[in-house]
Amino acid sequence: MMRLETELRQVKSIAIAGHVRPDGDCTGSCLAVYGYIREHFPDIEADVYLEVNNPAFGMLKWAEEIRTDYREERTYDLFLALDVSDKERLGEALKYFEAAGRTICIDHHITNKGFAEENLIEPEASSTSELVFGILEEDKISRETAEALYMGIVHDTGIFQYSNTTPRTMEVAGRLMAKGIAFSRIIDETFYQKTYIQNQVLGRTLMESILLLDGKIIMGRIRQKDMEFYGVGPKDLEGIVNQLRVTKGVEVAIFLHETGNQEYKVSLRSNGPVDVSKVCAYFGGGGHVKAAGCTMHGTLHDVVNNLTLHIEQQLLQEGPQ
């Protein structure tokens, strides 16, 4: 069983990093480990790296200490990758990973093949935050660290709703709650709350969405020029695919966000039997059975056709319901 305290023996410097386009679980687990080390191992030089510092997570302690600048050349004794399913998803932090004395990865993605020297990968875990809870000394978890972990669990389970939620998830959440965390605020301010512009973009995407395959697939997309018009970035698009997903009759929701000329960031969500991690893994991405992503090239038409084909194949294998 992995214990953080054991892994930190003889470690004088540590880099903690999550995946590109950091989400709630990634940010929560990174800040929890960072805060725990700051509180209990003040002699260790700890840095936490994320691609962007999303203001939606700003209520967490230590959020302003997130580093988004990778220009400094550094060699850390230990590099800890959290919620990162493959090396490339480290983005610019990859150079610190490559240079580090030792590397550890803690993750719950089913597509993770274990790219670090030591790997704690449990696809059954709701979130990386749930796994991080398991490697810390419970009595040393402060309220602030508990808030970061709770946020991570809340985000990856859709507030304890998705099928990855287990009795263990609820038990961990309960123990975190016992630390006196501001659970209502965490859910409201980091999960539900949207800026006015984010809501406008959501509304526009829903309005322009289309149904495919007799309504079994819904597809929504946002163009680069729309994003420029509204002045939004990728972090403002979180939650859109989930709103598409809750359309009655839909098996799979597709959300496409144009990232370049004939380049799309793809988000898939499944309500039923379709394993979207398989679809995304085929196109070079990955994720979970019911939530996955990848990047695809080609015209909108090609991208949608390719995705639809793979989804339809899985639906056909299921046979008539």
Q: Which residues bind Mn ion (CB under 5 A)?
A: 25, 83, 127-128, 156
Closest CA to 58 of 187, 189, 234: 189
- Nearest approach in angstroms of CB 55 to Mn ion is 20
> Which residues does 199 contact at the CB level (< 8 Å), separation at least 6?
none
Q: Rounded CA gap, 139 and 238, in Å?
A: 34
- The answer to whether residue 292 forms part of the interface with ligand 5GP (CB under 6 A) is yes
Residue 91 one-letter amino acid: G
Closest separation in Å from C-beta 30 to ligand 5GP:
14
| Beta carbon of residue 39, minimum distance to ligand 5GP (angstroms, whole number) | 28
From first CA to last CA, the distance across the chain in angstroms is: 43
- We find the least distance from the C-beta atom of residue 165 to Mn ion, in angstroms, to be 13
Closer CB to Mn ion, residue 27 or residue 103?
27
User: Residues 272, 286: contact at Cβ < 8 Å?
Assistant: no
Nearer to ligand 5GP, 19 or 61 (CB): 19
**Is residue 286 part of the contact set for ligand 5GP (CB under 6 A)?**
yes
Binding test (CB under 6 A) with ligand 5GP, winner from 279, 293, 296, 315? 293
How many Cβ atoms are within 10 Å of 35's Cβ, its own excluded?
Answer: 24
85 binds ligand 5GP (CB under 6 A): yes
> What long-range pairs does 207-214 form, CB within 8 A, spacing at least 24?
209/244, 211/247, 211/250, 212/304, 212/308, 213/308, 213/311, 213/312, 213/315
What is the per-residue binding string for ligand 5GP in 105-134, x denoting contact by CB under 6 A? ----x-x-----------------------
CB of 291 to ligand 5GP, least distance (A): 4
Rule CB under 6 A: say whether 50 interacts with ligand 5GP. Answer: no
Q: Which is nearer to ligand 5GP, 239 or 273 (CB)?
A: 239
Is 111 in contact with 86 (CB distance < 8 Å)?
A: yes
How far apart CA 32 and CA 37 sit, in angstroms, is 9
Binding footprint of ligand 5GP on the chain (CB under 6 A): 19, 85-86, 89, 109, 111, 241, 267, 285-288, 291-295
